Amino acid sequence: MENLIKLAREGRLEQGLGLTFGQTHRPNQAQRVSYDIEELTKNYRVGSKADGSPYRFQILTYGCQMNEHDTEVMAGLLTAMGYEAASSEADADFILFNTCAVRENAEDKVFGEIGRLRPLKNRNPELLFGLCGCMAQEAGVQKMVREKFPWVDLVFGTHNIHRLPALLHAAKASTETVMEVWDKAPETVEDWPKLRKDSIRAWVNIQYGCNKFCTYCIVPYTRGVERSRLPEDIVAEVEQLVAEGFREITLLGQNVNDYGVDLGTVNFAQLLRRVNEIPGIDRIRFTTSNPWNFTDELIEAIAESEHVAEHIHLPVQSGNNEILRRMNRSHTREYYLKLVDKIRAKIPNVSLTTDIIVGFPGETEAHFQDTLALVREVEFDNAFTFIYSPRENTPAANFPDSATEAEKKDRLRRLNEVQYEISLRHNQALQGKIVEVLVEGESRTNRDVLSGRTRGNRLVLFPGDLSLRGQHVQVEITEPQTFLLKGRLVQANEVVS
């Protein structure tokens, strides 16, 4: 496995692990397809049910923004087939689990839900269950569905989403599970129909897949080789979104700073500048940036592009070089700290967030202390912290490990304690300050309270009228907390110029 990874990284491996690899695989126009929604759905339209009501779907989405965005594509396909969105699972004729495979507990949750919802089939004999997304790419999961969850009607993967109408049609007629999972993406799809969930914020894929093969991570196996979309296609999609009134665009990829490496004609810094120049564009975000290949040119592009928000999610994973090496992360602690210094020097007020794994196989207390020290030194604004979860067929799943579950849980607790104190302190520094917020809508728990985000991606809650949705407002921070800021709307006449 180590050898395969090495060959892949050097671009000398064309075919292996069921995948092709970026450096030798150069997508071109011929490998891009535009699916005609009419063509994809015309033979599979559904009418209404016997009682005259429409067929309804519910998609349950797990995992990252890639999955959230795929859900929008699949909702678009189902709508074109004649389905309508259900208000709950109980109301649905098709329940689709769009799954994440990154950690075992994400997988357990899905199987738990599939079991919990099974009785709905007794009430609605037409109800179909589907499973797609990253879990569907795993041979172990396919086997599990066959053996333990045979009432799941349909399984398809991340590379054949466009087959949903045909496969759902087949599943309706079949008494057995219809399973179609492709092990790689034959082409990059353009012009997907999408039913976007939000009308203020939109996700735009710029790159699919990942070539990094961090030893703990399943994503390169579930999402395939890195493929960049053409800059003109991305710009056209963003222009369209701006014309439709979207205010915030998030450019999506597993390693956005490697955008364009496979195209050879454009890089991420250049793409950001191009998107920044789109007339009418408001806010631009991007995620995720691997620390590797975060060039000075990219730092400058972020600093100089007025619409690009000052937030960088920069997963460090560990503060110890030996662990980083075994993780096959390409950065060292020193490289990372220097990168943070460069970013902070060029982008004042930048908000930095990160991902950290504790309990990686072989991690000792001393290794973990290096992570804690790095967290204290960098002072991230926020961190997503995880206990290492062994993933089938990834190299680290076979690495020797000695720490106990209790020790790992305790490391996570101590790490969170340090980070929460820093997050709170950073937020408290905003007490009494006025921040600019893009209003996203009502808060989840209180309809009289609006929620929005600062350019640095801080969540702000304040009383206000929903008519402000989609607008930039000034909010005075009155009650900073660890994970959010509470405040009050500052009226235009209060702002001293």
For position 294 contacting ligand SF4 by CB under 6 A, the verdict is no
Neighbours of 320 (CB within 10 A): 23
386 binds, among ligand SAH, ligand F3S, ligand SF4, none (CB under 5 to 8 A by kind): ligand SAH
Nearer to ligand SAH among residue 130 and residue 315 (C-beta): 315
Phi, psi of 463 (to 5 degrees): -65, 140
Among residues 130, 157, 165, 220, the one that binds ligand SF4 under rule CB under 6 A = 220
Nearer to ligand F3S among residue 288 and residue 320 (C-beta): 288
Nearer to ligand SAH among residue 317 and residue 451 (C-beta): 317
22 binds, among ligand SF4, ligand SAH, ligand F3S, none (CB under 5 to 8 A by kind): none
Checking 210-214 for CB contacts under 8 A at 24+ apart, the result is: 210/254, 210/255, 211/8, 211/9, 211/21, 211/22, 211/23, 211/255, 211/258, 212/254, 212/255, 212/290, 212/292, 212/328, 212/330, 213/5, 213/8, 213/9, 213/328, 214/317, 214/327, 214/328, 214/329
DSSP state of 262: T
Binding site as annotated, residues:
64, 100, 134, 210, 214, 217
Binding site as annotated, residues for [4Fe-4S] cluster:
64, 100, 134, 210, 214, 217
Residue 181 contacts residue 419 (beta carbons within 8 Å):
no
For position 136 contacting ligand F3S by CB under 6 A, the verdict is no
Residue 113: HSE in the Cβ half-sphere, 13 Å Cα cutoff: 20
Among residues 19, 110, 217, 378, the one that binds ligand SF4 under rule CB under 6 A = 217
For position 291 contacting ligand F3S by CB under 6 A, the verdict is no
Q: Which residue's C-beta sits nearest to ligand F3S? A: 63
Q: Which residue's C-beta sits nearest to ligand SAH? A: 355
CA 54 to chain centre: 31
For position 359 contacting ligand SF4 by CB under 6 A, the verdict is no
Provide the b/e sequence for 22-33 (b: ≥16 CB within 10 Å).
bbebebeeeebe
Nearer to ligand SF4 among residue 58 and residue 353 (C-beta): 353
Binding track, positions 49-68, relative to ligand F3S; x by CB under 6 A: --------------xx-xx-
CB 204 to ligand SAH: min, Å? 17
Q: Is the peptide bond before 288 cis (omega within 30 degrees of 0)?
A: yes
Among residues 5, 8, 74, 102, the one that binds ligand F3S under rule CB under 6 A = 102
Residue 452 bridge partners (DSSP): 439, 460
For position 318 contacting ligand SF4 by CB under 6 A, the verdict is no
Alpha-carbon distance 271 to 207, whole Å?
12
Residue 238 contacts residue 249 (beta carbons within 8 Å):
yes
Nearer to ligand SAH among residue 141 and residue 219 (C-beta): 219
Q: What is the arrangement of strands in the sheet containing 84-85, beginning at the earlier edge strand?
A: 84-85, 56-61, 94-99, 128-133, 154-156, 178-180
Report which secondary-structure segment, H or E, holds 112.
helix 104-117
Tell me the number of residues near ligand SF4 by CB under 6 A: 10
Q: What is the arrangement of strands in the sheet containing 382-387, beginning at the earlier edge strand?
A: 311-313, 351-358, 382-387
Residues that bind ligand SAH (CB under 6 A): 102-103, 216-217, 219, 254-255, 288, 290, 315, 317, 355, 357, 386, 388-389, 391
Joined together, the tokens standing for residue 413 give 């607790």
CB 218 to ligand SF4: min, Å? 8
Nearer to ligand SF4 among residue 210 and residue 430 (C-beta): 210
For position 214 contacting ligand F3S by CB under 6 A, the verdict is no
Query: What does the binding site for ligand SF4 look like in residue numbers (CB under 6 A)?
Result: 210, 212-214, 217, 219-220, 254-255, 290
Query: What does the binding site for ligand F3S look like in residue numbers (CB under 6 A)?
Result: 63-64, 66-67, 100-102, 133-134, 218-219, 222-223
